[in-house]
Structure 1
């Protein structure tokens, strides 16, 4: 977290079974640097009150995003992945591979939380470090759909080119990436905007179930 202006890298993931310890954790200057831009992500309702109490103490501005949290508890079987390979596509045969770092601008342009230079650098580091997967049509220069994981192991930034939607492409890419994450012992989860009904339906079609709220607090100091 060397760049005080980079909230993408400056991200805290917070969880505690004791709500009181949340306050102590976030007030500890050895834990949170309130002099820089940062994000806090969590899935506990108790965080909201604690964070706003601390905001009144430190000043600055906090923007909150609250989305639907989805998790998949059931394991992904080899039969499930094999069934995806037998899916009939109007677009013909597909190839699946990790994203390349030079495709970070493509992902950045479609990411709701991105669209700037800092987010593009962050996406490039995610591609370099964590599990990603995309679908390619042979002979086409760029992928037609993709999904990435990041430092909390969450699957994010999923996207399908508009002309290839409604062909189960999201489910194909997403399930394959979930299988990769599962093999590495990671929890399988994601979040979706409460207004994005199509993405919510696509998540549930591949075994995700809604379990609560995913929240992100973006802090900018005075």
Structure 2
């Protein structure tokens, strides 16, 4: 097992590029880290340079890691090597609460078995579709009139409270810190009203996925979500970011929205978030 250094992270990003879309979540983390976005993660592999498993985990040497929810993300090309890393090589700390985020759902039985053997409880946090846009030619752009176009902007620090209050997983101090970090360091897009306040918005997570899409109830039904997704997708493509999102299984409205804009899905792949030690 090896912790990757700065140069090795660049190489690993190139390797993961060949395994899209299934590697997108880890690829997104590495994309951000390699472009000097703030991170509290360290990245480990089973062997180097020909790795089969790559894991992003909280960096024990980073004091800021304690300010954020403990999350572990991985991409695996070999389930047996992954199992060995989780059971014999202390790849993750089973002693505290953490989320295992965006992993291949086919690994769920193995993860449940490994955690049970470690006497750690686990449960499904959410199941999701992975939708992505291979290139901008797939994007179906809605018509935008000049009045609406003039109201498209980016979020700033004064909007953190509003986004936190409306985020399904926010509404607390932990959510506030996450959103402040995202608005400060990653692209965002919003539509503002006559007073310059956001009425609809979308952010980019630290693993470079689009998310937190939300429109205030009194402003729905005007096509704002379509405009924001297509505007941000074009911007991300232009800047070299991967363009993708995770949509929770029960969120049929968002799933249809992204599909209708040209995002595609690998039908053989589903992702999940699990909680451990809850």
TM-score with structure 2 setting the length: 0.67
- d(CA) in 1 for partners of 2:65, 2:71: 11
Secondary structure of 1:14's counterpart equals: strand
Stretch deviating more after TM superposition (190-199 or 123-132) = 190-199
Residue 56 of structure 1: how far off its partner (Å): 1.0
Change (3 A) 1:93 1:163: farther
Q: Any conservation in 2 of the 1:94–1:137 contact (CA below 8 Å)?
A: no
Q: Mind listing any 5+ residue stretches in structure 1 that lack a counterpart?
A: none
- d(CA) in 2 for partners of 1:73, 1:92: 27
Q: Please show how residues 62-81 of structure 1 align to structure 2 within 5 Å.
A: 62-64=122-124, 65-76=126-137
Secondary structure of 2:191's counterpart equals: strand
Q: Any conservation in 1 of the 2:94–2:120 contact (CA below 8 Å)?
A: no
- d(CA) in 1 for partners of 2:214, 2:258: 12
Change (3 A) 1:25 1:138: farther
Residue 173 of structure 1: how far off its partner (Å): 0.9
- d(CA) in 2 for partners of 1:166, 1:191: 23
Q: Please show how residues 41-60 of structure 1 align to structure 2 within 5 Å.
A: 41-60=101-120
- Backbone CA RMSD of aligned residues: 2.7
Residue 66 of structure 1: how far off its partner (Å): 0.6
Instruction: Give the equivalent residue in structure 2 for 1:170.
Output: 225
TM-score with structure 1 setting the length: 0.82
Q: Mind listing any 5+ residue stretches in structure 2 that lack a counterpart?
A: 1-57
Q: Any conservation in 1 of the 2:190–2:200 contact (CA below 8 Å)?
A: yes
Q: Any conservation in 1 of the 2:189–2:228 contact (CA below 8 Å)?
A: yes
Q: Any conservation in 1 of the 2:68–2:177 contact (CA below 8 Å)?
A: no
1:157-178 Cα offsets, whole Å, 9 max, x none, are 1111222222221111111211
1:183-216 Cα offsets, whole Å, 9 max, x none, are 3333221122222222122111211123332311
- d(CA) in 1 for partners of 2:252, 2:166: 18
Q: Any conservation in 2 of the 1:94–1:136 contact (CA below 8 Å)?
A: no
The one of the two structures with greater contact order (alpha-carbon pairs below 8 A, sep at least 6) is: 1
- d(CA) in 1 for partners of 2:262, 2:227: 12
1:103-145 Cα offsets, whole Å, 9 max, x none, are 22211222222222112211111111212111112324x2011
- d(CA) in 1 for partners of 2:145, 2:261: 17
Change (3 A) 1:97 1:5: same
Q: What number of residue pairs does the alignment pair up?
A: 213
